[in-house]
Amino acid sequence: MLRKTAALMLALLLIPTFTCGETLTVNTGSRVHEISPTLYGIFFEDINHAADGGLYAELLQNRSFENEDLLSPSAYQHLSGWQFNTSPEGDGLAAIADSMPLNAGNPTYVSITVRSPGYAFQNLGYTSSVFRGGIPVTEGESYDVSVFLRTKSFTGRVCVNLITRGGQALSDTVSFTPGDAWEKHVSTLTAVSTSDEACLNFTLLGTGDVDIDMASLMPCDRIGRDWPGGGVRRDLFEALLSLHPRFMRFPGGCDAEGSWVWDNLYRWKDTVGPVEARRENWNTWGYMQSYGLGFYEYFCLCEELGALPLPVVGSGVLCQARTPSEKPMNEEELAAWTQDVLDLIEFATGDAGTAWGALRCEMGHEQPFSLKYLAIGNENWGDVYFSRYEKIRDAVRDRYPEITCIVACGPVAEGSLFYASRARILQAFPEDTVDEHYYMDSDWFLRNTHRYDLYPRDTRVFLGEYAAHEPASGGTRPNNLYSALCEAAYMTGLERNSDVVTMSCYAPLMARLGMDQWTPDLIWFSGRDIVKTPNYYVQKLFSDSLGTWLLDSSFDEGNLEAEGLFQTASAADDGRVILKLVNVSGEEKTIHLHLDGKENVQGHGTLLAGDRQDTNALSREKVSPEEFSFELSGAEAHLTLPAWAVLVLYVP
């Protein structure tokens, strides 16, 4: 029914109307200023299982038995995601072990003593109390499987296959023979049936002891299969690609800085090299990060997405926004950390003759990665931060003057903390780009579309995190159309001010259904499916239609924002005029369009419309873009803009 309404509105669109309405005039020859070519990007943080259990292609949870809550550790956490001794056939005992581990970065493994053949155990994949889930497998699809094994006394085979929770086979079976030193065993499984709740099953056909570590299962069909970490999930990658991001901020957020304890600082060196030697870490968001999607894979991902990397490194203070004490690094610690930061730049850009450039080459990428930006800190403020920022930033600028340093400006949009931070930055670091973050209620975005109009034109802002927050219901803030339209309205202000606001990205980017820590999020997913929210489609619409020059455009009746009507116009390199109209009201609007300098041409457009509270869900996409074409009659068109809608028009 709702779809029908949208279709009807579309039919009315651009048909001459003779009712009164608003006149929008676009001076197509004007060039107000260049629009920042990097205005729209993405911010990827491993929150809500965005990486582990999400984009990262690994299907096993706790694959190397390293799971441990840094704040309240207990031995049994190392076994989470696994079940042992599940077959009536065999008998044995499984225990956590750490003597003579696989390597120093991967200290824990499981040692199994098999007393009678047929002992079985399984990894259940990503499950939660809300979504039982498991490993999604599809009939006919193949999966790369691998595991490290070692034995002193086992005679027999380790068989591996996919099964249901009830024990029914879902794939062929492969078998490995362990030797007396750690060895990686690799094969491929092909699913014979489809299931969303598969387990990876190990059956030990023999007796004696077997040590097991670093098991892995990934779909063969994925992006980056040859990356050392193993690559990323294809459908989620495509959802990101379709946003056409100009840059990608990574790895946090709070995740980049560490919180509560220094042990969970994101140390980039732990995330590169052979994947089985990367030291896993407990993250700010309460789960273990495998680092299989580490810094090397991040740079590769940026290349695949056509996005510029924008790494965030800690600033020598713990996350100030989320932890009671920032526990600042002392001089010596800061000097060592500063060297780590310089080493990261060398890893990305150095040649094979440099220590860290050589590691990048060894990992498979001889060409340097492009690196133009570096954010030092996240949502930090105060002397404790700015004094440390200055030291790291000066060291970076000395060695790499071509890199733009990005300075944090606290976690809020306004108030004394924000204004004091901004004033200090403008005085001490005037050339640096200022990273603003704010999560505000939806109406705040409508009221503040002119926030940047009065910023000095020689300053630069990176809006590194933002989202319109609707009131929570049942603990969840919805991604409804209203919030998306408020963001769209705000983005017309970003475009108008994109001489100052050079980059922006919504946050957070992704969330696994039933395993989230934060709402709202741009993209939701299960093990198999994706939900693109109305907010996702707004980001996509704006990103797809980024012009080169801002054009002079205005309603003849004056500013109509109080009535919920927002607009911006730009010109593309090829001369097309791009017009964005946002109607954040429950009334359809009649608009007379006057495009100076255009005549009798055929254009096309995209409309996103629905009801104010509409949300998208698995297998129910209420809000999605619809394409259409139209003719200009002379330089004029008359259109009916539906209620609760955003519209992008392209005029050749």
Enzyme catalytic residues: 379
Q: Which residue's Cβ lies closest to ligand AHR?
A: 253
Whose Cβ is closer to ligand AHR: residue 154's or residue 525's? 525
Q: Minimum CB separation from ligand AHR for residue 504, in Å?
A: 14
Q: Which stretch binds ligand AHR (CB under 6 A): 248-256, 475-483, 609-617, 628-636?
A: 248-256
Q: Which stretch binds ligand AHR (CB under 6 A): 19-27, 246-254, 489-497, 599-607?
A: 246-254
Whose Cβ is closer to ligand AHR: residue 40's or residue 182's? 40
Window 111-150: contact mask with ligand AHR (x via CB under 6 A): ----------------------------------------
Q: Which stretch binds ligand AHR (CB under 6 A): 185-193, 249-257, 567-575, 628-636?
A: 249-257
Whose Cβ is closer to ligand AHR: residue 42's or residue 114's? 42
Q: Which stretch binds ligand AHR (CB under 6 A): 33-41, 253-261, 497-505, 562-570?
A: 253-261
Q: Which of 22, 45, 197, 614 binds ligand AHR (CB under 6 A)?
A: 45
Q: Which helix (H) or strand (E) holds 505?
A: strand 501-506
Whose Cβ is closer to ligand AHR: residue 228's or residue 411's? 411
Q: Minimum CB separation from ligand AHR for residue 44, in Å?
A: 11
Please provide the distance, in angstroms rounded to a whole number, between the alpha carbons at the two ends of the chain.
34
Q: Which helix (H) or strand (E) holds 442?
A: helix 442-447
Task: Kindly state the DSSP code that residue 145 receives in the 8-state scheme.
Answer: E
C-alpha to C-alpha distance for 129 and 253, rounded to whole angstroms: 26
C-alpha to C-alpha distance for 449 and 490, rounded to whole angstroms: 5
Sequence-distant (6+) residues with CB within 8 A of 636 are: 592, 593, 594, 595
Q: Minimum CB separation from ligand AHR for residue 462, in Å?
A: 13
Q: Minimum CB separation from ligand AHR for residue 312, in Å?
A: 9
Whose Cβ is closer to ligand AHR: residue 24's or residue 412's? 412
Whose Cβ is closer to ligand AHR: residue 469's or residue 532's? 469
Task: Kindly state the DSSP code that residue 403 receives in the 8-state scheme.
Answer: S
Q: Minimum CB separation from ligand AHR for residue 319, in Å?
A: 8
Q: Minimum CB separation from ligand AHR for residue 284, in Å?
A: 7
Distance of CA 622 to the CA centre of its chain: 23
Sequence-distant (6+) residues with CB within 8 A of 353 are: none
Q: How many C-beta atoms surround the C-beta of residue 5 within 10 A?
A: 14
457 in Cβ contact with 33 (< 8 Å) = no
Cα Rg of the chain, angstroms: 27
Whose Cβ is closer to ligand AHR: residue 346's or residue 470's? 470
Whose Cβ is closer to ligand AHR: residue 125's or residue 464's? 464
Q: Which of 13, 24, 47, 232 binds ligand AHR (CB under 6 A)?
A: 47
Q: Which helix (H) or strand (E) holds 252?
A: none
Whose Cβ is closer to ligand AHR: residue 148's or residue 285's? 285
Q: Which helix (H) or strand (E) holds 420?
A: helix 416-428
| Positions 283 through 342 that interact with ligand AHR (CB under 6 A) | 321
Q: Which of 144, 326, 432, 465 binds ligand AHR (CB under 6 A)?
A: 465
C-alpha to C-alpha distance for 559 and 640, rounded to whole angstroms: 19
C-alpha to C-alpha distance for 61 and 82, rounded to whole angstroms: 8
Structure tokens, 604:
């096309």
User: Residue 431: which of 384, 466, 397, 395 has the closest Cα?
Assistant: 397
442 in Cβ contact with 469 (< 8 Å) = yes
**Residue 252 binds ligand AHR (CB under 6 A):** yes
Whose Cβ is closer to ligand AHR: residue 337's or residue 506's? 506
Angle in degrees, 0-180, between the axes of helices 382-399 and 331-349, rounded to the nearest 10: 40
371 in Cβ contact with 358 (< 8 Å) = no
Q: Minimum CB separation from ligand AHR for residue 408, in Å?
A: 9
329 in Cβ contact with 317 (< 8 Å) = yes
Please count the residues of this chain forming the interface with ligand AHR, following the rule CB under 6 A: 15
Window 396-425: contact mask with ligand AHR (x via CB under 6 A): ---------------x--------------
**Residue 357 binds ligand AHR (CB under 6 A):** no
122 in Cβ contact with 86 (< 8 Å) = yes
Q: Minimum CB separation from ligand AHR for residue 252, in Å?
A: 5
C-alpha to C-alpha distance for 423 and 319, rounded to whole angstroms: 21
Q: Which stretch binds ligand AHR (CB under 6 A): 247-255, 333-341, 369-377, 545-553?
A: 247-255
For residues 509, 512, 516 and 520, what is the CA-based torsion angle, rounded to 10 degrees?
A: 40
Q: Minimum CB separation from ligand AHR for residue 260, in Å?
A: 14
**Residue 280 binds ligand AHR (CB under 6 A):** no
Q: Minimum CB separation from ligand AHR for residue 31, in Å?
A: 36
514 in Cβ contact with 129 (< 8 Å) = yes
Q: Which stretch binds ligand AHR (CB under 6 A): 96-104, 250-258, 572-580, 633-641?
A: 250-258
**Residue 508 binds ligand AHR (CB under 6 A):** yes
| CA atoms within 13 Å, Cβ hemisphere of 532 | 19
- Residue 51, classed as helix, strand or coil, is helix
Distance of CA 174 to the CA centre of its chain: 35
- The sheet carrying 565-571 orders its strands as 33-34, 549-550, 565-571, 577-583, 645-651, 602-609, 626-631
Sequence-distant (6+) residues with CB within 8 A of 478 are: 470, 519, 520, 613, 615
C-alpha to C-alpha distance for 129 and 240, rounded to whole angstroms: 28
Q: Which of 52, 144, 346, 379 binds ligand AHR (CB under 6 A)?
A: 379
Q: Between the CA of residue 264 and those of 235, 285, 582, what are the distances in Å? A: 30, 11, 43
Q: Minimum CB separation from ligand AHR for residue 413, in Å?
A: 13
| Positions 86 through 105 that interact with ligand AHR (CB under 6 A) | none
Q: Between the CA of residue 357 and those of 34, 155, 211, 276, 368, what are the distances in Å? A: 36, 44, 35, 21, 8
| Positions 593 through 612 that interact with ligand AHR (CB under 6 A) | none
Q: Which stretch binds ligand AHR (CB under 6 A): 235-243, 252-260, 608-616, 632-640?
A: 252-260
Q: Which of 518, 549, 555, 628 binds ligand AHR (CB under 6 A)?
A: 518
Window 435-454: contact mask with ligand AHR (x via CB under 6 A): --x-----------------
Whose Cβ is closer to ligand AHR: residue 125's or residue 252's? 252
Binding site for ligand AHR (CB under 6 A): 45, 47, 252-255, 321, 378-379, 411, 437, 465, 507-508, 518
